[in-house]
A and B are shown apart, each in its own frame.
Chain A
Amino acid sequence: MAMKGRFPIRRTLQYLSQGDVVFKSSVKVMTVNYNSAGELSEGARKFVFFNIPQIQYKNPWVQIMLFRNMTPSPFLRFYLDNGEQVLVDVEDKTNKEITEHIKKILGKSKETLEKEERERRKLSHPANFGPKKYHLRECICEVEGQIPCPAVVPLPKEMRGKYKAAAKDEA
């Protein structure tokens, strides 16, 4: 397996899907200004290194821009679609605090996420059969404990139509 970079765990799907910040649909751009040196920017640097991949994974349509060493103190800026700009000062905060903060002010709440999840589940019924792209199973022979596919194992004579028809004709 390819392990690239200093913390290759950041590239795993499991790590990325563990990000819990899902922005509201009104957030379009996120800008991070931070410094590469200095104790006060440490939290921001960790945030950029560890948490931004998770955020981008969960919000693929939000543009994230990083600016290095442009201002003396680190901050985040969000641009919403109604033109509003939200400034978040992150000096002297750990990366966990920063994620909690932005989850609180601009993230979808757990209820909203659960509701959306329920809506999505309502669209597809797990008991329906059909193409693998849209349903779980194509045929009942795929389920464990049911009769195997007649293409692989022929059905016993009593269950086959031609035998039953012949028997009825005879009788």
Chain B
Amino acid sequence: PSWGPRLVPARGRKTRHDPPAKSKASRLKLPPPVDPEELFVVTERYRQHRLVLGALRAEFRAEVLQKKREALLSQEGSAELVEEHQRLMAWNEEENARQRARREERLRKEEEEQKRQKLQAAESRASKMEAVLKEKEKEILQLQEEAKSFITPENLEARIEECLDNPRNYNFAIDKEGRIVRRTVLS
């Protein structure tokens, strides 16, 4: 406490560390006298008062909370909020529908793609088979043609005669330009 002119310390001359005076040796310090009935009545009255006040406080607190909760609920359950919610749900449904459409589109495209691929594969296989068959046929034809000039036991004699009659000269020279020179004569 600030020691202003109003607040004067009760100690006066001595500090708290000085011993008390001899005249005060027989002093008996007693607490203030108490009337038990009065005390009982006063405490009882105080108790009832505080009880009532506490109850009132709790009551008001509960009321304020209730009001706040009611305000929140009414604000949440209001018509415009519900309508807003419906609108957003409808939009969400639309979005889902759009997504569904996109997905179906995609699946359809994939199916088509697969079908196309299968067809193409079948076609290529067919064409390959055809090519192979053609090749085989060509070979057969070629063989047939060659077979005409084969030497069989029937025309063995004739062919031998033919070879002997027409001697072939394999002696020739070739220069760097590719001109062939046949000078040697078969004897």
A residues near B (Cβ < 8 Å) are 25-26, 73, 86-89, 91-93, 101, 104-106, 161-162, 165, 168-169
Give the segment of B11-19, B30-38, B90-98 that binds chain A. B90-98
The interface bits of chain B over 1-38 (1 if a CB of A lies within 8 angstroms of the residue's CB, else 0) are 01111000000000000000000000000000000000
Contact between chains at A89 and B5 (CB < 8 Å): no
Q: Given A25-B76, A105-B88, A105-B89, are A91 and B99 neighbors across the interface (CB < 8 Å)? A: yes
A93 proximity list for chain B (CB < 8 A): 99
Asked if residues A92 and B5 are in contact (CB atoms below 8 Å), the reply is: no
B98 nearest in chain A by CB position: A89
Check: B116 CB closer than 8 A to any chain A CB: no
Shortest beta-carbon distance, B41 to chain A, in Å? 40
**A92 and B3 form a contact (CB under 8 A):** no
The distance in angstroms between the C-alpha atoms of A110 and B127, with both chains bound, is 66
In the complex, A73 Cα to B95 Cα: how many Å?
Answer: 16
Q: Is B103 an interface residue (CB 8 A)?
A: yes
Judging by beta carbons under 8 Å apart, are B76 and A92 in contact?
A: no
Given A87-B96, A91-B103, check contact A104 B91 (CB 8 Å).
yes
Contact A105 B92, beta carbon cutoff 8 Å = yes
Number of interface residues of B (CB under 8 A): 16
Could you tell me the distance between the alpha carbons of A89 and B104 in the complex, rounded to whole angstroms?
A: 13
Closest 3 CB pairs of A and B: A161-B2, A89-B99, A105-B88
A169 to B8, CA, bound (A): 13
Question: Are the CB atoms of A86 and B99 closer together than 8 Å?
Answer: no
How far is it, in angstroms, between the C-alpha of A162 and the C-alpha of B91 when the chains are bound?
A: 76
Question: What 0/1 readout, one digit per residue, does chain B (78-122) give for beta carbons within 8 Å of chain A?
Answer: 000000000011011001100110110010000000000000000
Within 8 Å by CB of A88, from B5, B96, B100, B102, lies B96
Given A88-B96, A105-B88, the answer on whether A73 and B3 have CB atoms closer than 8 Å is: no
What are the residues of chain B within 8 A of A25 when measuring CB–CB? 76
Q: Is there contact, CB below 8 Å, between B91 and A165?
A: no
- Additional A-B contacts beyond A89-B99, A89-B100 (10; CB < 8 A): A25-B76, A86-B89, A101-B95, A105-B89, A105-B92, A106-B88, A161-B2, A162-B2, A165-B4, A169-B5
